[in-house]
Amino acid sequence: MTLAGYAEDAFTWEGSTRRIFRRGSGPAVVVIHEVPGITPAVLAFADRVADLGCTAVLPSLLGKPGGGARDPRRLASAFARLCISREFNYFALRQASPITEWLRALGRQEHERCGGPGIGVVGMCFSGGFALAMMVDDEVLAPVLSQPSLPVGLTSAHRRDLGISDEALARVKERAGVGMCVLGMRFTRDILVPAERFARLRKELGDAFVGVEIDSRVPQLVGGSSHRKVPVSRHFGIPNRCSACI
C-alpha cells in the first residue's frame, strides 16, 4: 500500500527490513508512530512537519500503514505483536528497547540522505522514549518525547525510569550540557506517562528539558481522555529552539 503523497522505501539494518514512507524536502524528522501504526492522525502530523520545510520520515513498526486507529481488529493485532516482540522493552529497567538500534541506523542514513546539520525525532506513546535513546547520536538535534509510556509504570522504579541505559543517559546529559534540549509532553492525569518520569527528566537534564504538561481537567484540550493521540501536533515548535535547531 502506498500512502498518497508519500514515497515508499525500505530500510535494512543487521538483517531487519522495514518499510518507510517519506514526504517533503529538507532536513529529516523521523516520526515514530504510536499503536496501532501509521494512522491518519500520524500522517496529518507528518504533513505538518513536511510543510515546515523538513523531510518527514515514517518507519512502519506495527500494523498496516494508513488504517484507522479505532479498528478493534487492528488494535488487537498491533498489541499482540507488541506483546510477543523482543524488540520492545515493557518492564526492563535502565535499558533501551532493541528497536532503537534499528531506528538510530535509520536516523544516520536519513541525515546523510537529506543533509542539514542534523535530524529531528518524534516518538509517540510506546515509542515516546525512543527519541531520548536516539539522542546518543550526534545526528539527533531535536528529540521530542510525546507521552513516553515505556517502561510500564508498575513500581516506583518503573515510573521514574527513562527507558535508556546509564551509559546512554550519561551521553544524553553530556549533549544536553552543550545547548541541546529535549521536549517532552504529557497529560497531567495520564497514568500511562507517570509524573515521576518527567520529574526525573527535569532532575537529570535541568533546563535542557522542556516539559509541556497539558491539564487533563480542561475538556477542550483533552476531549474526555487523558491519553490522546499526538499532543505534540498542537505544540510542535514550542519552544522555537527545540524545533529550529535542525
**Tens digit of each residue's pLDDT (9 = 90 or more) over 206-229:** 999 999 999 887 755 555 456 654
In this prediction the pTM is 0.87
Alpha helices in 186-239 (DSSP H): 195-205, 219-222, 232-235
* Reported confidence tier of residue 204, pLDDT bands at 50, 70, 90: very high
Q: How far apart, in whole angstroms, are the C-alpha atoms of residue 239 and residue 107?
A: 23
- Predicted local confidence at residue 107, as pLDDT: 98
Q: How far apart, in whole angstroms, are the C-alpha atoms of residue 218 and residue 223?
A: 8
44-100 tens-digit pLDDT? 999 999 999 999 999 999 878 877 656 666 665 655 565 656 788 888 899 999 999
Number of H helices, E strands in the chain: 10, 8
23-243: CATH class: alpha beta
In a 13 Å sphere around the CA of 21, the CA atoms on its Cβ side amount to 23
**Does the structure show a pLDDT above 80 at 231?**
no
- Predicted local confidence at residue 230, as pLDDT: 41
**Does the structure show a pLDDT above 50 at 232?**
no
106-148 tens-digit pLDDT? 999 999 999 999 999 999 999 999 999 999 999 999 999 999 9
Nearest CA among 22, 70, 27, 15 for reference residue 47: 22
- Predicted local confidence at residue 63, as pLDDT: 78
139-197 tens-digit pLDDT? 999 999 999 999 999 999 999 999 999 999 999 999 998 889 999 999 998 989 999 99
**Does the structure show a pLDDT above 70 at 41?**
yes
C-alpha cell read off for 36: 496501532
5-24 tens-digit pLDDT? 999 999 999 999 999 999 99
